[in-house]
A and B are shown apart, each in its own frame.
Chain A
Amino acid sequence: MNKLKTFTIGGVHPHENKLTDQVAIRTLPLPKQLIIPLGQNLGVPPKPIVKKGDEVKTGQLIARGEAFISSNIHAPASGKILKIDDALDASGYRRQAIFLDVTGDEWADDIDTSGTIEREIKLSKSEIVARIKECGLVGLGGATFPTHVKMMIPDGKKAEYLIINGVECEPYLTSDHRMMLEKGDEILVGVSIMMRALDTEKAVIGIENNKPDAIAKLSQLAQSYKGIQIQPLKVKYPQGGEKQLIKACVNREVPSGKLPIEVGCVVSNVGTAFAVYEAVQKNKPLIERVVTITGKNLTHPSNFLVRVGTPISDLIAAAGGMPEDTGKLINGGPMMGKSLSTPDVPVVKGSSGILLLKNEESKRPTPKTCIRCSKCTVVCPMGLEPFLLSKLSKLGLYERAEKEQIMDCIECGSCQFTCPSGLPLLDYLRLGKQKTGQLIRNRK
């Protein structure tokens, strides 16, 4: 048997805990009120184009992204705009949001809400990009980079490969896995659309081999699509990291500080491919997504199709209610997710999962001193020396940290996960990256 492909430097293998990989996606009922934060994309938030009292239909544009790196937002349900005000979101800050009192689910006229699969791609390259932009697509893997910007290749560069992330290397999360099983055809059409937009002949969908059903399903479907290859990968975290995924799938290394296009690659993920399908073939804007709600103490961990703006507390209620001994609430997975102070924040385009940890799972190990075991270095997928970088950050030696390539850190947390002394390496690394970034910007 061939050795399974994977990335070559570092990596760890946390417990997978995929509690919901066999739980089919269910649609969560609409809540009474949706709170739609404006800052849902990387870059500049869009500007609201509705005002208090306006009646909107599902899928109607309510905020327009005007800046280059920005993206539109549409009404996730029909109803009346209650107000535009600050609201707590998953970032932990109060930021501008549109409050929508839901009255029903009446869709805007030009949206195809039927379930029929449209395989034929009618739009041209530029029409595709325009539609993706119009529909407010962002990367659904969590980075929320506006998809239409990604589809525009800088002059002089060529996208040889479109790489699709189907690895879902974060423990617990299963939304992409379920999508691949249940929406395989749509995803492949979406990939084909992106290939057309990028002028690319080849697409590789990387899937870790802990999802044999998804690999089998997509491999079978892919036979009727041109140029799409399904690449099974060895299970290793953080394979979903852009650079790691490219290395694993096509064995190219993105140089330090550069973007994937430097080595002829564009990376997206299966969730985004599905959204592209819906936008281009059905004219459906990005107003809902699949969110995994999971945790060992939940009675019904699930995968829900959720409208943007639904409070996370609704998901928890639908999964059996908030368990008594919940110690931590995480937006995302256990390795890179962000802890939330309250479940009263809305689901946004970038929410892939909500994880509840029990009290005892929420504790960090007591930090001891570094025993110089070099395990952090061994597992770092970027080939950095986390023990050194965290020490330099602690001491405020940012110039030196820059030389040791602190800016290459992808904040995957593998180092801290592994450290036998339980040191909060990534806490220091994040601080160091921020300060070093300031230093670099000030120089310009």
Chain B
Amino acid sequence: MSLFTISGSPHVHGEENVKKIMLTVVYAMVPAMLVSIYFFGLDALRVMLIAVGASIFFEYVIQKYLIKGPITITDGSAAVAGILLAFNVPANVPAWMLVAGALVTIGVAKMSFGGLGKNPFNPALVGRVFMLISFPVQMTSWPVAKPLFASHLTDAITGPTALGLLKEGVGAGKTVDQILADPQMPQYLDRLMGNMSGSLGEVSAIALIIGGIFMVIRKVIDWQVPVSIILTVFIMAEIFHLIDPQHYIEPSFHLFSGGLMLGAIFMATDMVSSPMNLSGKIVFGVGIGLITIIIRLWGAYPEGISFAILIMNAFTPLINNAFKPKRFGLVKK
């Protein structure tokens, strides 16, 4: 007589697994990858390949030689972290800097906390902030977007980002109209499509939104985080714009420039470092939105979403404790 397996129920399992989730995230990033290659050419491809390669390499080496545990590079999480890191740097960043960033992303922000699922902060963002603080010059010299096949701009030159222009302008006491009239300032449609200076993945709001909708449909992220971040930034920007339109630019500018969309859709939604429950996700998103706008309007950096996400990451355990899912039968009929 053959022996039967004894185990507790359930005896069947759904089709979800970690690799599938990571692959979905990669698919969602494809539009933004293509746009970055379109505007920044082979430089973009180079940055992505180096970041992904280095991330997987470090994960492998650390798991094999330092932790001496199972190797999990095939689950795809290192590749996702690599692409996200690449999305957060300028296309002309030197290779060795990127490798250092990947080392911090994987080694410090992910592995030292125990690997996938245990990291309190978004690893790619830690890597990015490390690079920003260590190499401020290179990390803020942005190549100007140069559409493939467009011949009028031949040499890769660098230029300020829209947010950089804004911060500089406001600092110099210019009015919003004067700042917008700056010839280097990208036009509205360009900001939407991604035809402007910036880090690889952040330039095209459209491509990022497409990826975001894809992830929501595939249930890899919940809409609560991105929507609450974007709405909060919009409302805050609108309030200040209404108070003083010559000092505070209109909200759409904030939405479609800088890393807001990238952060809201791909960075803040990282499962591991964001809250678990829907109400908590909204609190988290509103917090990120508020901190972002505060840094953008009054902080020293032109961009604030990276710091905002990392700060709110730190609050995630508290939010998880305070905001529980809606329990069944808690409210009496």
Q: Using a CB–CB distance below 8 Å, which chain A residues touch chain B?
A: 9, 12, 14-15, 92, 171, 243, 247, 252-256, 258, 263, 326-330, 332, 334-342, 355, 357, 361-362, 364-365, 368-375, 377, 380-385, 387, 405, 408, 411, 413-414, 416-422, 424, 426-427, 430
Contact = CB atoms under 8 A, between A and B. Distances in A.
A408 B11 contact: no
18 contacts: A171-B12, A255-B330, A256-B329, A328-B7, A335-B9, A339-B6, A339-B7, A339-B8, A369-B115, A369-B118, A371-B116, A371-B271, A372-B276, A377-B277, A385-B276, A408-B327, A414-B10, A420-B21
B326 A383 contact: yes
Residue of B10, B115, B118 with highest tally of chain A CB at under 10 A: B10
A174 B27 CA distance: 40
Residue of B16, B219, B272 with highest tally of chain A CB at under 10 A: B16
Nearest to A380: B325
A372 B117 contact: yes
Nearest to A251: B333
B67 interface: no
A420 B18 contact: yes
Task: Tell me what chain B mostly uses at the interface: helix, strand, loop, or mixed.
Answer: loop
B4 A342 contact: yes
Contacts of B3: 341
Nearest to A429: B8
A340 B6 CA distance: 7
B20 interface: yes
Contacts of B154: none
Contacts of B68: none
Contact of A384 (B21, B72, B117, B325): B325
Contacts of A328: 4-5, 7, 11
A420 B20 contact: yes
Contacts of A254: 329
B271 A372 contact: yes
Interface of B: 1-14, 16-18, 20-21, 72, 75, 77, 114-118, 219, 271-272, 276-277, 324-333
A79 B282 CA distance: 69
Given A339-B11, A405-B327, 19 more contacts: A243-B329, A253-B331, A327-B4, A334-B10, A335-B9, A357-B11, A361-B12, A364-B13, A365-B17, A375-B219, A383-B327, A385-B276, A408-B329, A413-B9, A416-B13, A417-B14, A418-B16, A419-B16, A420-B17
Contacts of B17: 365, 420-422
Task: Tell me what chain A mostly uses at the interface: helix, strand, loop, or mixed.
Answer: loop
A231 B2 CA distance: 44
The 4 closest A-B pairs by CB, nearest first: A413-B10, A420-B16, A383-B327, A374-B276
B183 to A, nearest CB: 46
A374 B8 contact: no
Given A14-B12, A422-B13, A384 B327 contact: yes
Residue of A171, A357, A371, A430 with highest tally of chain B CB at under 10 A: A371
A339 B5 contact: yes
B326 A371 contact: no
B327 to A, nearest CB: 4
B9 A337 contact: yes
A152 to B, nearest CB: 23
Contact of A375 (B7, B16, B327): B16
A297 to B, nearest CB: 13
B1 A327 contact: no
Contacts of B10: 334-336, 413-414, 416-417, 426
A329 B4 contact: yes
Residue of B4, B117, B277 with highest tally of chain A CB at under 10 A: B4
Nearest to A10: B328
B333 A263 contact: yes
Nearest to B220: A373
A255 B329 contact: yes
Contacts of B326: 9, 383
